[in-house]
Structures are given as structure tokens and as C-alpha cells.
Chain A
Amino acid sequence: MSFFRSQEMDGWFSHLHKDNAFEFQFDHYYMCLMIGFAALRDDPLQGGSELIRHFPGPYSAASKLIVGLLLIAETKKLGKQLSNKRDVEFIVQQYLESSGSGALNDVGFDRINNYANGGFKYLVEEYDDKPYHADTFFGWYTDRLRKLAAESPLWSSQKAITL
């Protein structure tokens, strides 16, 4: 299993490449994923095209944190409690490869791909047209994501730590 994204995703972000803002197509995927997490929106991905099998270089440092956010989001979705050891073990076992190095298993990839797809759908619905300039889009994106998380029942219940 791999990271899969909607076939429309690269097209939607394509104008930003003129600004040389992105080095990786995974940047598109990741930005959609974070919006999907913030909005707790997961839309099943039908078809889609394969992107990559593992987190690319610039994301290797943050890869576990990203999986951590998936675990938090899924705990909420499944009505489980992080304060319950068995629930936590269930979630971890459910989404991660037990024979590998803690990489996502098929179920984990399926879920994370759905969040990325949900985030992408959200961006398409909410952003006027396609993004044309990285400098204006990044400003809108970071503002919107912060606002979504602050208004989300899941994330707003967490203590805010400003970094």
C-alpha cells in the first residue's frame, strides 16, 4: 500500500510550480492531509493515483508526528479513549505494520489517504479558483488551518501550545 491521491490534486496545485514553491508532489498531499485532520474530514478515495510508498526525505523528521495526528483523529472517529490502554493498543495495532518499523499498514494508508482526500475536497470547495501564487496561498492556508483546528471539537479540546 502507498500514499494515493486524487487525480485532480496535482492539477489543482499546478500553478504554484511556476513559483518554484514546491519540490515534491507530496507537499500537495501533505497540505491536504493536514486540512483533513484539522477539519476531521475523510472522504473515501475512489481510484486515485499512487504517489509514494513512504514519507519522502523532507518529511522523515515529522513522519511520526503525522502518524500521531492520525492516531488522535482516529481515536475520536472510532469513539475510543486515549486514556484507555486497550483502546490505544487497538488503534496502534489497527493502523501500523507490526512487522515493519512502525510504518502504516494497509488500513492506516487507507485512512490517511481518505483524510488527504477530504482535505483536498475542502480546499477545492473553499478556495476561490485554483491557487496561483504560493505567497498568497500559504497565507490563506495557514490562517484557515489554524481556524479550523481552533473550531474543531477534537482539536479545540487540546491545550494550545504556541510554537
Chain B
Amino acid sequence: MQLTCYLRRESMKLTLLGWESTGLRCPDLAIDLTKDGIAPRVSLVQMPNGTGKTTTLDLIKASLTGRALDWSSDDVRRLRRPGSANDSGKFVLRLLADSDPLTFELSFDFLEEKVAYRTSWRASGGIKDGWEPPTEVKRFLNDRFVPLFIFNGELAQDLLDGRQAKALEAIDALCQLEHLDSIVTVALEDWQQATRNQGARTASGLAGWKSREERLDARLKKVQDLRQKLTSELSSEEARISELQIELNDRLKYDHTTQRRKEEVETRIHSHEIALVEKTRSILQLIRQPQFLSPHFAGGLAMLKDQFDRVRLPERTSRQFFVELADESQCVCGRPIGETERQAILGQANNYLANELYSFINNLKGDINQSVLDEPKAVSSRIGVAVAEQKLIRRELSQFRTELEQILAESITDAGAAAQKLAKELKACETKRDELSEMLAKIDEHPDSDVSDDSWSIRGLQRELARVRDMIAQITGTVELKAKLDVVQAIAKRTKEIARERLRGAIRDDCNSTLEKVLSGDPIRIEKIGNSLSLRDQDGASVGQTLAVGYTFLTTLLNRGAHKFPLVVDSPAGSLDDGVRTRVGRMIPTLCDQFVAFTISTERGYFLPALEEVASNSIVYLTAFRTTKGMQGVIDSLPASAIRSVDGAVVSDREYFLKFEMPQEQE
């Protein structure tokens, strides 16, 4: 393997020109993002809810990543147009790779429940079966990187979620820090080659260890791949759950009293969840002080202090006094100190403790005084009270959750078959999400002491593999080479840490200077980039702030790379305050070469004027929707320029875009 392949830095600009879908869950639409043959800086695609925005975004991502090859029959079936007799469907994504047209085509066979790719790129000789993107950008077209430039507001939320490592993953994905791991792979292969060249002397014992190494290595790679796949599936499942929750909520109707009670219960659940976390933390703070854990521990410590006092510890004189005195020529009483006296004094010294030990006893007595004897006494222990309060919070939380479930179950029953179907699908998605989370927890588990070849624990497999390789090194006499491999591994690991640290600092500074401009009246700033983004002097951020911070972080990241990618965002302004909309609207066109936004009509206010202020001459306005019976009024008033299909319509016109208002579509 040549290291040079990792060091190439070709740059390439990807531009999204449009897409076309036929026979799929989303309506048949041909979306052209170009204006006079050129993709403008901003493309706005107005798609009301129910037009298949999420499906379209999933298809765009699948086209770019080649991931559809891993889809299950269920995944493929889910994309078939509901109620359609079509046996096939197609999605075509059109791009420019620099100035060369690049096309990905996904063909769906709903009878076989399979999907196949075709790639068209002039530089590689035209149309090819399979997913074959240009080499220069292929390493970016994966599940880790693509969601950084095709995303929704959830990613911005996740970036600030301390339980996830999205910010760190984003930096790693962009800066391709995994190439450092590839350097280790090269060194590892060299060492493995050296161990293969051993003679018969070591062959018998070695064969067993080498075979174990192969099994562990293969297993580790398999589990790592699986982890990536499960993470991606989990992310899709969570997106689908959010989508279903919104759809379901839109269908549920509550009378005034139930609505009020539902909101009240939801508020209580939220406040109880926060209270439970806080109470648990406060209990840990108490647990960390042993005197609170048990009245008998506190009593034992008080007794210890009492005993120190009784036996008069610490002494006023320490061992050092006698040791130093023995070095003198004259005693404190004035008598000379000869060898006999010196030995007697040193003998006496052994009856005393060192200064430091007396000092420790003194400090311990002080701590017992302060933490036990001076502490206010209670009838019930503080921990006991806190645990009882925690139990109460948990019980109430459980009651509120049950009540909310009942309210929802009743309204789902009242809302009819469509809502019940959605609820059923939601439940199935939640079950799948839980299964995926459980599997990932198993993979991320800390290792047990004995790790078998079929372990699921990545850490366990890594540890066992290291042990087996050490053993192979000893048998083959390649200990020195193995030591060098360990050094390379250590250097790669440390380099990765240093690179991450420096990148985090630089990206944080860049983000903060952008935030100063974007949110000039708002003090929100990034304090630290760890696994996630931590905000300065704040435990959380409003939805608007979160989205603004997320945009800033991602666009800052994308701007640092040698390649240029379009920024595709679902509902870019949906949750932003009016003021933030204006500032974000002005910011986005300056941060990327191509911005494609999926919007709904309610997002236009404040956001659109701000976008037009910065990129007025370079915006494409598209309005696309599903043509159903309930939409007859809108269909009848379509302009002549509208392009219609069997179940959809697209209008490319600014005035139509601005005036378009559509009632909630009823399917």
C-alpha cells in the first residue's frame, strides 16, 4: 500500500443541478435548480408537508453515498408509491463535478424489492453500472460526511447534545483524520509480513496465534462496519420517528379540556425529567462524602478523632526532632552528645512518627471536626431524604407518562384508521430504534476480562488483538519491529489527538467570529468543542440559537476543506426567531457556493428578504406539490409555465413562490 494515496489533495467542486423521481413514494417531479443553465448561489424549493420532502432528501443522500445497496426489502418497499401498481421506480440525481456532468441513477425493482445504481461521468468513460463516483470525491461520499452538507435542524440539535459525539465526528469526517489510522494499517501489514517469513522453528505454536489474530481482526472490522451501519440506521429511524410524530400530531384532534390537560401533563413530564436528573446528580454529590453515606461511618470517624485525642496524637515532637538532635554535638540540656548518646537518641526517634504523618493526623482530625462534628445533625439522613424525593419524582413522572399515553391512545382511536396506521408505524419504528440502541450499547460496552473471538465489544476485541500480536511478536522474534509498530500507533494516536485539539480550537475561534456577526445582539458563543459543542455560560440554547450555531459550525467546517459541496437544508428557517432569520438569511449565501433549501410557505417571512438582500440575482424559486383531489383549487390556478406529472406539479417563478399558500394537504 502506498502512503502517497493518502496525501493527495486534489480539489473538486460538486454542484447540485437537480433531480427527477418517478413511481416512488414522493410525487413524480423533475426539479431543475439551474437558471440559464447555471446553478445559482441559492435555490429555494418550496414543498408543502406531504410532498415527500424527507423521502426526496433520503434519495439524494442515497444517490450520493451508494448506501441503497445495503437497503433491506422493507426499505425498498417503503419507497414504493402507496396504492400504486408500478413494478418499478427511478430517481435520478444530476450534479456537476467541477464542469463535468455527473449523474447517479437509482432503479427500483419493486417485484424483486431491489435497487440498482448507474453512474454517468464523462471523465470515467460515460455510463457505468453501479455506484462509481469520481475518485477525488469518493472518500467524502459516505454516511459520515454527506449528512454534514445535507441536513435538517436535528443535526444542529445533535451537535450540542453532550450524549452524542456529532461535533467530533464532523471534524473527523471533514479533516479525514482516519488517514492516520491507514498509516498504522500500512505499518501493521509490514509487521504481519515479517511474522509470516518465519521458519519451521516457530511454525507450530505460531500458526494457532496467527489464525487467532486473523479471526479477531476480521471480527473487529466486521463489528466496526456494523457499528457504522447501525448508527446510520439509528439516525434514519430517529428522523422517521420525528416525521411520524409530526404527521400523527397533525391528525390528532383534542377538545379544549383535553388539549389543556395534555399540555399540562407534557409540561409536568418535562419538568420532572429535569428534576430527576438534577436530583440524581445531587445524590451523587452526597454519596461522594462518606460521612453522609452511613450514620455509622460518621460515628466511626468521630470515634477515630476521639481516639487520636485520647492517645494524644499527634505528638508535639516528631521523629525529625530526634534525628536532627542526634546530629548535634550538644544536647538541648547542654550535655555533650557522644556515640552512645547518639544511638540512644536515634533509638528513641523510632518511637515517634514522621512530621508528615503527624500533619496528616492533624488534617484528618480537622476534616472530621468540620465534616462530622460541626455538621448540623439531622433526624433523617440527607441522602435518605434526597433518595425519597427522587423516588417521589420518579413515581410522579411515571404517572404523568401513563396519563399522556392514555390521552394519546384515546385521541388516536378517535382520529380514525389513518392515524391508527401512523401510530402503529411509529410504534414499530420506536421498537426498531430501541433494538438498534441496544445493539450499539453492546458494541460500545467496556470489555469483560475474557474476550472471545465472537465478542461484540470493539474495545474488548482491540485489547485481545493487541495481546495476541504481542504474543506473535515474542514467538517470531519480531519484538523490536512490533515495538516500532507500537510507536507508530502511539504517534498516530497522539497526532490525531493533537490535530483534533488544534482543529477544535481553530474552528471554535472561526465560529465565534462568525457568530459575532450573525448573532450580534446575542451573547451566545462556543466555549469548547469536545465531543459536542459547549456554549459559553449556558446550559442550553433556544431552538433558533441552536440552529444558528449549527449552521455556523457546519459551514465553517465545509469552508475549511479543499473541496466544495452544496449545502442542502431542510426547513432552514422553521424554528428561527424573526431577528435570527434575518441574520441567518444574510449569512448563508456568504458561507457557501451553493445553498439549496427545502422550505414551506411559513418560512418565507424575514428569511427570504434577507436572502434576496445578499443574493438577489442568483436565486431560483421553485414550488412543488402533490396534485391530489383536495388540491383542485390550487391545480386550477396553476400558471401556464407549470410542469405537471401524474401526481405532482412544479412551478419555477418568483411571484408564484411568494404568493403560494396551501391548506394542509389531506391524503
Contacts and interface: CB of A to CB of B under 8 A. Distances in A.
Given A68-B301, A158-B303, A85 B312 contact: yes
Contact of A142 (B295, B301, B377, B384): B384
Contact of B298 (A22, A156, A163): A163
B304 A71 contact: yes
Contacts of A149: 293-297
Given A59-B288, A71-B304, A161 B313 contact: no
Nearest to B313: A88
Contacts of A20: 162-163, 277
A68 B46 CA distance: 70
B550 to A, nearest CB: 21
Interface string A5-42: 01110110011001111100001001100100110000
Most chain A CB inside 10 Å of its own CB: which residue of B293, B300, B376, B390: B300
Contacts of B447: 7, 11
A162 B311 contact: no
Contact of B356 (A59, A97, A161): A97
A27 B283 CA distance: 12
B375 A163 contact: yes
A142 B382 CA distance: 11
Interface in B350-391: 353-354, 356-357, 359-361, 363-364, 367-368, 371-372, 375-384, 387, 390-391
A34 B290 contact: yes
B119 to A, nearest CB: 41
A82 B288 contact: no
B297 A102 contact: no
B532 to A, nearest CB: 12
A62 B290 contact: yes
A65 interface: yes
A117 B624 CA distance: 65
B182 interface: no
A160 interface: yes
A162 B356 contact: no
A84 B281 CA distance: 41
Interface residues of B, number: 67
Given A7-B447, A135-B276, A162-B378, A82 B303 contact: yes
A138 B304 contact: no
A101 B311 contact: no
A139 B60 CA distance: 49
A60 to B, nearest CB: 11
Given A159-B299, A163-B377, A67 B294 contact: no
A93 to B, nearest CB: 6
A73 B379 CA distance: 26
A59 B284 CA distance: 12
For chain A, give the interface size range.
Answer: 35 or more
B356 A98 contact: yes
Nearest to A158: B299
B346 to A, nearest CB: 16
Interface in A86-145: 88-89, 92-93, 96-102, 134-136, 138-139, 141-143, 145
A99 B390 contact: no
Given A65-B368, A84-B311, A85-B313, A163 B394 contact: no
Contacts of A34: 287, 290, 293, 297
Interface in B441-460: 441, 444-449
A145 B383 CA distance: 12
A142 B283 contact: yes
A102 B288 CA distance: 20
Contact of A83 (B280, B290, B307, B379): B307
B446 A68 contact: no
A58 B361 CA distance: 21
Contacts of A146: 293-295, 381, 384
A53 interface: no
A114 to B, nearest CB: 17
A156 to B, nearest CB: 6
A89 B313 contact: yes
Given A159-B303, A162-B295, A92 B357 contact: yes
Contacts of A93: 353, 357
A1 to B, nearest CB: 17
Contacts of B280: 19, 21, 134-135, 138
A58 B288 contact: yes
Given A155-B300, A160-B295, A163-B292, A88 B448 contact: no
Contacts of B353: 89, 92-93, 98
B300 A69 contact: yes
A102 B357 contact: yes
B331 to A, nearest CB: 25
A96 B313 contact: no
Given A21-B280, A88-B308, A138 B449 contact: no
A10 to B, nearest CB: 4
A39 B237 CA distance: 46
A137 B356 CA distance: 39
Given A30-B288, A83-B310, A149-B293, 19 more contacts: A19-B277, A21-B280, A47-B449, A61-B367, A64-B367, A65-B371, A68-B301, A82-B304, A92-B360, A96-B357, A99-B356, A101-B360, A102-B357, A138-B283, A145-B293, A149-B296, A155-B297, A158-B296, A163-B292
Closest 5 CB pairs of A and B: A102-B360, A160-B295, A158-B299, A85-B311, A11-B446
